[in-house]
Structure 1
Amino acid sequence: MSSTATQPGSQLSDALARDRLGVAAIVFFMMSAAAPLTVVAGVVPTGLAVTGLTGIAIAFLAVALVLAIFSVGYVAMARHIANAGAFYAYIAQGLGKPVGVGASWVALLSYNMFQVASYGGFGAIAQPLFVDWFGVDVPWYVLALVAWALVAILGVRDVAVNGKVLATLLVAEIALTLVFAFAEIGSDGFTASTAALDPGTLIGAGSGALLVMAVTGFVGFEQSVVFSEESRDPRRTVPRATYIAIALIAVVYAFASWAMISAAGENVVQRAGEEGPELFFNLAAVQLGDAALHMGHILFLTSLIAAMISFHNIIARYMFSLGREGVLPRTFGRTVPGTGAPKNGSLAQSAVGLAVIVVYAIAGWDPLVQLFFWGGTGGGLGVLILVTLTSFAVIGYFARHPQGEDVLHRVIAPVVGAVLLLVMTYLAFDNIAGLLGVEPGSTPAIVVPASFIVLLVLGSLWALYLKSSRPQVYSGIGLGARSATTTGGFSAALNNDAAGTGYNDESGYRR
């Protein structure tokens, strides 16, 4: 397609690099965003302390089941649409272009919340560790800026380079998580917990908060389709990567959380409140010693770095997709020839991250609670909204384009998944105060959920403005590389199809 070519005299291209990522690389991106060690050592103890419920292990398995059902229709739709905008493109084609643009604004806020939250968590957690290790009290924001610089540099490099970095960090992270879990099983105080796997904990007071915390642990699973344009044979790569990531995340989370709860015993809730992230490490250190404890802390920090890299890549590709179609300034829809990196989107995200770090440093705000905890929780709520909207978009899309998919993929699984996700979204809004650790009716409890609703409405209104003032841009919303606003995009795609050498006019995949 002509839209994939670099224009003469230009230093930028309007296409992502193709055939760069296999199943393993995409799984690394997805699971790095999920940050397994951060979830097991951070989210699980927080969930125990906030809700007082010990059924987090069964909550992870229940959420995995719901997301697996959702993914049946999700990856089926991916066989027809290849777009780095993912949720944005799917919602635009399934529920209408205005809702799709509104969803893109929600996505940008959600993933930026995760991204900047990671900077705050890294700085706040690394600061006391540097005092312990080196006797140097480095301000949290200095440490956060070091991590920010690393992520900014990698963000403009070849996506394959980022994949290799994530692979190294993720393998070490998962290996240590499992080693620690087995060490806890071998500890003297271990007693196999049935409460951690009791389905009854998913019903009743606090269960909504428990389920939403479990959902937060899976954020990143949905991003397989973000890399569809850069993957090898996306018709097979995307579904395999999605199911593998969900299964691995569920097994690691459920097993490690069950081991931790079982090793801590009956006073696990109290210990979770007192020790926080240290609970997982302290229980394993009894068996493995202080050296293992230090290694756990190091990989806890690299887990956050891996999440930063993954979310940075996701955000840059969302901005690329929106810029390519003219929904955002078109400068964001350009990539670096050779590497295919969405440079301008990457630089913009780096600027946002830098601004947040500087503002928090100057204002003296708490980077752990007011940035890491609130940002991560708010981002999780936003992603849950997006997943729920996408589940209905899948139903809408296949109602108009049933060809090529059986009734399971286009009706049964999407409908079941949509109903289950709608219930979970309701529980999330109903438990938002508990999730944030604030009083019901307080400013954070109102502002966080309201911000997503406001952005959804404003984005939809922007799309309607484009419809009246820039109809060519509006007509290309959600079409990705086929957008009429890209260089020769739509007409070139049709010409290539006529020659039998281009892309399928639904998916963008090569024949």
Structure 2
Amino acid sequence: MSDLETRPPTAEAATGLKRNAIGTGGIAFLVISAAAPLTVMAGVAPVAIGIGGIGAPMGYVIAGAVLLIFAISFMAITKHVKAAGGFYTYIALAMGKTVGLASAIVAIVSYNCLQIGVYGLFAVQTQAMLHTLFGLDVPWPVVALVAIAAVWFLGYRGIDVGAKVLGVLLVAETAILAVMGVGILAKGGASGISFASFSPEHAFTPGVLAILAICFAAFMGFESTVLYRREARNPDRSVPRATYIAVGFMSVFYAFIVWTVVQAYGDGGVVEAAGELSDGMFFATINHYVGPWAEVVMYVLIVTSVYASQLAFHNAINRYVYMLAKDGVLPAFLAKTHPKYKSPHRAGQIQTILAAVVILICAVVGADPYKQLLIWVNTPGIFGIVGLQGLVSVAAFLYLRRNPAAVTNRLLIPLSVASAVLLFGVAVLIAVNIELLTFADDVTNIILLLVAPVVFLAGLLIARKLRTTRPAVYARIGSFETHES
């Protein structure tokens, strides 16, 4: 037996990143905070209700069910392939380095779209908070740029500080949403409690299928569990457990909160209310059913919630860039870690500059921070990540077929096939219904949908060029270690 099998390398030796010995709860906090429950609910759930009607809660249940199927086959690979680079290393292992590198580039672009777009939501919600609480009118670009600087600072300090902050914010934002939900139910909603949201005639309508992009966006922190694998205690046990906890919690909690908001306005009035109140819907709801003090708390927590989401995405992007630099694909200076904090600080600096440039461009051209910066910039990110999850499902199927020892349950291979079909089906539904999400013209929608495929194609071409011109670098793409248990 080799030294690699008997003495696994430390996180520092393997990746250069600081090892923080994060347990199951810590990783679950990270992945849930990456989605930021209050951000998802107050920021975009009104859009989901406006499009999906009273069946909107089922959209989150469907998304959670699909991702749970995905998680089962995905976790089966993670027990045998010790990868620190996220989805792309698993794709590279099963589908080849060319597809793996293309997937990594799509992941970096998609996560950047998600993070940078959410600065629009942060700006809108923070503007509202400052105006409501202090009577201040601060330009949204100023708010966004301050947020970028704050995210950079905590990311610069490393995961140890980040995990603690994310955990505290997660508990606080989950608690305020739970208080709102309980308050609505305690007062019987607008006209009594109804379960019509979960009936087939409302749960599986074209409107609900159309909001799947919004619902899947609520789970975009999913990959955090494997990105922090090196920094986890007993990862073979804690990572799968944290993944199932995170997906299960988010699915049930999101569906519950959206369902209670439907009760707050009644089956016949909630769609109209969502259209009229828009991103202020949750604040008006908690004010009415809980009290003005709760609205103030929610305003404060929405700011910290978005901040938590941004920090988690920032860290995920940094680790992708860092691992590609370690593999030799990106410039070597991006593979340097901070001598004290062991964070991939140089990758973080590049990501921070990119976010600031996009915000400044949007400010100059007069873009709407919610409709254009948030929705338009987020859409390619959602489409790209769902597509990557589909590719990972294919990779799981191929790996399990080639390695019978990894098939610990006969359902693993069928589940990997089902996961691929479902996720690519969701990607098709997103593409078909994109105008309901973006409210943009056809040309804009086509451009938004082409971002991920064009980036993927460019990644394939880059990989093929590396194979012929820099074979040593090509050989390092998708660095991983295998271990048959």
Task: Establish whether TM, by shorter chain, passes 0.5.
Answer: yes
CA distance in 2, matches of 1:111, 1:6: 25
Counterpart in 2 of 1:473? 473
**2:45 matched to 1:44?**
yes
CA separation in 2, counterparts of 1:330 and 1:471?
17
Is 2:187 aligned against 1:187?
Answer: yes
Equivalent AA in structure 1 for residue 443 of structure 2: T
Please, which of 393, 400, 403 is the counterpart of residue 401 of structure 1? 403
Measured against aligned partners, the alpha-carbon deviations of 1:114-143 in whole angstroms (never above 9, x if no partner) come to 111122211122123212222221111111
After superposition, residues 116-265 of structure 1 pair within 5 angstroms as: 116-187=116-187, 189-265=190-266
What CA distance in whole angstroms lies between the structure 1 residues aligned with 2:216 and 2:158? 30
TM-score under structure 1 normalisation?
0.89
State the alpha-carbon separation in 2 of the partners of residues 256 and 203 from structure 1.
19
CA contact (8 A) 1:76 1:409 kept: no
* Percent of paired sites with the same residue: 36
Aligned to 2:430: 428
Q: Distance in 2 between matches of 1:124 and 1:41?
A: 12
Matches of residues 17-416 of structure 1 in structure 2 within 5 Å? 17-49=18-50, 51-187=51-187, 189-265=190-266, 266-408=268-410, 410-416=412-418
**Is the Cα contact below 8 Å between 2:58 and 2:208 reproduced in 1?**
no
The offset of 1:387, in angstroms, is 0.8
TM-aligned CA deviation for residue 19 of structure 1 = 4.5
Aligned pairs, number: 477
Aligned AA for 2:435? A
Work out the CA distance in 2 between the residues paired with 1:470 and 1:271: 58
Q: Identify the range of structure 1 (310-319 vs 215-224) with the bigger mean alpha-carbon deviation.
A: 215-224
Using the TM superposition, name which of 226-235 and 170-179 deviates more: 226-235
Give the TM-score of the pair, scaled to structure 2: 0.93
Q: Which moved more, 1:58-67 or 1:334-343?
A: 334-343
Distance (whole Å) between structure 2 residues aligned to residue 85 and residue 374 of structure 1: 27
* Offset, 1:310: 0.4
19 and 350 in structure 1: CA distance in 2 versus 1, 3 angstrom threshold? same
Q: 1:202 to 1:212 in 2, by over 3 A?
A: farther
Match for 2:97: what amino acid? Answer: K
Deviation at 1:78, TM superposition (A): 1.0
CA contact (8 A) 2:400 2:406 kept: no
Distance of aligned partners of 1:338 and 1:14 in 2 relative to their CA distance in 1, 3 Å threshold: farther
Deviations 1:3-61 (CA, angstroms, capped at 9, x unpaired): 97989xxxxx9511234321122111111111111212222210122x25321212211
Q: Secondary structure in 1 aligned to 2:218?
A: helix
Secondary structure class of the residue paired with 1:403: helix
1:250 is aligned with what amino acid?
S
Separation in 1, partners of 2:20, 2:292: 44
Note if contact 1:29-1:166 (Cα within 8 Å) is conserved in structure 2. yes
CA distance in 1, matches of 2:185, 2:331: 54
Q: Per-residue CA shift, 1:438-472, capped at 9, x if unaligned?
A: 24xx2221001111110000001111111111111
Distance across 2 between alignment mates of 1:17 and 1:291: 41
* Structure-2 separation of matches of 1:270 and 1:5: 52
1:192 Cα deviation from its structure 2 partner: 2.0
Q: CA deviation at 1:197?
A: 1.4
Tell me the SS of whatever aligns to 1:348. helix
How far apart, CA to CA, are the structure 1 residues paired with 2:70 and 2:410? 11
Aligned 8 A contact 1:6 1:337 in 2: no
Q: Which residue of 2 aligns with 1:489?
A: none
State the shift of 1:239 in Å.
Answer: 0.2
Q: Distance in 2 between matches of 1:338 and 1:400?
A: 42
- Give the superposed CA RMSD: 2.1
Cα distance in structure 1, aligned partners of 2:38 and 2:304? 9
Question: Structure 1 residue 202: deviation in Å?
Answer: 4.7
After superposition, the Cα gap between the structure-2 partners of 1:283 and 1:135, relative to the gap in structure 1 and judged at 3 Å, is: closer
Shift of 1:205: 2.7
Once structures 1 and 2 are overlaid, which stretch shifts more, 453-462 or 138-147? 138-147
**In the alignment, residue 264 of structure 2 is paired with which amino acid?**
A
Of 469, 477, 482, 1:506 maps to 482
Q: How far off its partner does 1:376 sit?
A: 2.5
Structure 2: which 5+ runs fail to align? none
Instruction: Could you list the structure 1 runs, at least 4 aligned residues long, displaced by more than 6 angstroms after superposition.
Output: 1-7
Inter-partner Cα distance in structure 1 for 2:210 and 2:458: 28
CA distance in 2, matches of 1:83, 1:352: 27
User: Hey, what's the Cα distance between the residues in 2 that align with 1:287 and 1:182?
Assistant: 9
Tell me how far apart the structure 2 counterparts of residues 310 and 5 of structure 1 sit (CA, whole Å). 19
- Secondary structure at the residue paired with 2:405? coil
Q: Report deviation, 1:207.
A: 3.5
Could you say if the C-alpha distance between residues 337 and 397 of structure 1 is closer, same or farther in structure 2, counting changes exceeding 3 Å?
Answer: farther
Partners of 1:474 and 1:159 in 2: CA distance: 29
> CA offset at residue 278 of structure 1?
2.1
Q: Hey, what's the Cα distance between the residues in 1 that align with 2:82 and 2:54?
A: 40
Contact kept in structure 1, 2:394 and 2:416, CA below 8 Å? yes
CA contact (8 A) 2:59 2:212 kept: yes
Alignment of 1:477-488 (within 5 A): 477-480=477-480
* More deviation, 356-365/141-150: 356-365
Matched to 1:230, the amino acid is E
The answer (yes or no) to whether the contact 2:32–2:250 under 8 Å persists in 1 is yes
The runs of 5 or more residues in structure 1 that have no matched partner are 8-12, 481-504
Instruction: Give the C-alpha shift of residue 64 in structure 1.
Output: 1.0
8 Å CA contact 2:68–2:244 kept in 1: the answer is yes
Kept in 1, the 8 Å contact 2:379–2:448? The answer is no
**Change beyond 3 A, Cα 1:372–1:200:** same
User: How far does the alpha carbon of each residue in 1:270-294 deviate from its partner, in whole angstroms, 9 at most, with x for none?
Assistant: 0000001322222222232111111
Moved more, 142-151 or 397-406: 397-406
Deviates more, 1:203-212 or 1:69-78: 203-212
Alpha-carbon distance in 2 for matches of 1:149, 1:296: 23
SS in 2 for 1:68: helix
Mapped to 1, the partners of 2:147 and 2:340 lie a distance apart of 26
Amino acid corresponding to residue 180 of structure 1 in structure 2: M
CA contact (8 A) 1:28 1:167 kept: yes
SS for the counterpart of 1:371 is: helix
* Whole-angstrom distance in 1 between the partners of 2:249 and 2:9: 37
CA gap of 1:280–1:445, structure 2 versus 1, over 3 A, is same
Query: Deviation at 1:82?
Result: 2.7
Structure 1, 310-319 or 392-401: larger mean CA deviation: 392-401
